[in-house]
Amino acid sequence: MPEKLIIELSKKGRKGYSLPKLDVEERNLADLIPEKLIRKSEPNLPEVTENEVVRHFVRLSNMNYNVDKGFYPLGSCTMKYNPKINEKLARLEGFLNIHPLQPASTVQGALKLMKTLENLLAEIAGFDAISLQPAAGAHGELTSMMIVRRYHEKQGNPRKYVLIPDSAHGTNPASVTISGYIAKQIKSNERGRVDLDDLKKNLNEDVAAFMVTNPNTLGLFETDIIEISKMVHDVGGLMYMDGANLNALVGYIRPGDIGFDVMHFNLHKTFSTPHGGGGPGSGPVGVKKFLEPFLPVPRIVEKDGKYELSYDFPDSIGKVHFFYGNFNVFIKALTYILMMGEEGLKKVAENAVINANYLKSLLEEEYQLPYKGHCMHEFVLSGKFLRKYGKVRTLDVAKRLLDYGFHAPTIYFPLIVSEALMIEPTETESKETLDAFAETMIKIKKEAMENPELLHSAPHNTPVRRLDEVKAARELKVRW
């Protein structure tokens, strides 16, 4: 039976609360609030009992897919399982009951925690200074590009272009544009890496930076990264790394050691804090020493064993977030890093790469693998060959996976792979889970060959059947 909306459960006169008697003098609302802000009619709120409210949302939560319920093979998103101790420590009273407007002297523990996290991130990635302020990955990208721009302005020329590979995350060109630059696309070669000849053609003294994800969105390590770094630096450009795929490198390679000047982290990916519906995210930015003056303010500084929030950085790009960043996420990330330790973080990268290559080996002969060879933490298949079976598309495969209890992988990205299926198993999944996913993918391929209509009409077992995606996009209804 379909779950009704909460407003549909409403019955006049029902309520799930009681309030104490008024113990202050009753006042006229118009004396407290400007007339123009006072409602002319009662809001249309649901009237339901307490048990109806609780049962309604419990039923909805049971329908919701989440990382505690099943496997997320989302490429480029690193949806690893989140240790529950992270949540326990983030709920400690001393963390929950503080406020960002308190004087620094009353939140020394929180500031020390943030400074410790900054220092550990700097050590892990090979940078000299960190800002925890950006609220998520794309925000970290934008902050990084603002730093790049401020640096070049101080050199006397902001420059015009930022170069981006054709396999880049979609947020990359958006961050470039918002920061006032023009994005230029660099081709991938037949190996799925940056084409050095195309890069060379586009490099000149108008280039502010080269923005690259490493490993890239095909799950491949940019093996020419040292040479790329030298080429970019030779024209005075900066190297920026999108840190979305750091899960494949952590403990093994420090981006700051292979030529990168600035990078954003995804605490909500690499360091096990929830994201998506379980967010919020966090996108700290790391920089080399020469870029440190441009980091956002306030910055945490230590003087005589005390921590302060300082705005005394005249070259800073300014504030990029209310207060100081998403503090609750910092607690979880720091917990994870301290519990894992150096060897544990290396194991994360090892197992992420092993899991991806194992799953790839099970599927590369069943689907198409456009770029051969070993991958890092993720790989990209193509479902293009399925078109000959009743015009089955990757979207149909993704929808059919839902019937078997699996979340779909990322589809149609990166754009350079036709009918792409982008799969990242993460290090937290067992062999049995990977085997079950592969078996289901192979079964769906067989269904596509024998009964394509079954896929065209999927999903069949979910609370909501397939939406008309064009209608949903054009006629989005967000209010009752």
Reported as a single tens digit per residue, the pLDDT across 349-375 is 999 999 999 999 999 999 999 999 999
Mean pLDDT calculated for residue range 11-37: 91
Reported as a single tens digit per residue, the pLDDT across 399-453 is 999 999 999 999 999 999 999 999 999 999 999 999 999 999 999 999 999 999 9
Residue 277: its pLDDT value, please?
A: 67
Reported as a single tens digit per residue, the pLDDT across 108-165 is 999 999 999 999 999 999 999 999 999 999 999 999 999 999 999 999 999 999 999 9
Q: Looking at the predicted structure, is the pLDDT value of residue 49 above 60?
A: yes
DSSP string, 393-456: -HHHHHHHHHHTT----EES-STTSTTEEEE---TTS-HHHHHHHHHHHHHHHHHHHH-HHHHH
pLDDT tier, 2 (very low <50, low <70, confident <90, very high otherwise): confident
Residue 107: its pLDDT value, please?
A: 96
Is residue 151 within 8 A of residue 294, CB to CB? The reply is: yes
Reported as a single tens digit per residue, the pLDDT across 163-179 is 999 999 889 999 999 99
Is residue 211 within 8 A of residue 163, CB to CB? The reply is: yes
Residue 215: its pLDDT value, please?
A: 97
Helical spans, DSSP H, in 108-170: 108-125, 137-154
Give the β-pairing of 299-303 and 161-165. unpaired
Q: What percent of the chain has pLDDT over 90?
A: 87
Task: Output Rg (C-alpha) for the chain, integer angstroms.
Answer: 25
Question: Could you tell me which CATH number the domain at 348-474 has?
Answer: 3.90.1150.10
Q: Looking at the predicted structure, is the pLDDT value of residue 276 above 80?
A: no
> Which residues of the chain form CATH 3.90.1150.10?
348-474
Reported as a single tens digit per residue, the pLDDT across 249-275 is 999 999 999 999 999 999 999 999 887
| Dist CA 74 CA 421 (whole Å) | 9
| Dist CA 358 CA 377 (whole Å) | 11
| Dist CA 22 CA 203 (whole Å) | 71
Please state which CATH class domain 85-340 belongs to.
alpha beta
Cis peptide before 34 (omega within 30 of 0): no
Q: What percent of the chain has pLDDT over 70?
A: 99
pLDDT tier, 464 (very low <50, low <70, confident <90, very high otherwise): confident
Q: What is the pTM of this model?
A: 0.91
Question: Which DSSP category does 210 fall into?
Answer: E
Q: Looking at the predicted structure, is the pLDDT value of residue 96 above 70?
A: yes
Residue 92: its pLDDT value, please?
A: 96
| Dist CA 352 CA 376 (whole Å) | 8
> Could you tell me how far CA 122 lies from the centroid of its own chain?
20
Q: Which letter, b or e, does each residue of 114-133 get, where b requires 16 or more Cβ atoms within 10 Å of its Cβ?
A: bbebbebbbebbbbebbbbb
Mean pLDDT calculated for residue range 55-59: 94
pLDDT tier, 479 (very low <50, low <70, confident <90, very high otherwise): low
Q: Looking at the predicted structure, is the pLDDT value of residue 278 above 70?
A: no
| Dist CA 196 CA 190 (whole Å) | 12
| Dist CA 68 CA 277 (whole Å) | 13
Is residue 288 within 8 A of residue 261, CB to CB? The reply is: yes
Question: Which DSSP category does 289 fall into?
Answer: G
Reported as a single tens digit per residue, the pLDDT across 20-32 is 999 999 999 989 9
> Which residues of the chain form CATH 3.40.640.10?
85-340
Reported as a single tens digit per residue, the pLDDT across 185-206 is 999 999 999 999 999 999 999 9
> What is the overall mean pLDDT for the chain?
95
User: Taking the C-alpha atoms of 371, 375, 377 and 379 in order, what is their torsion angle to the nearest 10 degrees?
Assistant: 20
pLDDT tier, 480 (very low <50, low <70, confident <90, very high otherwise): low
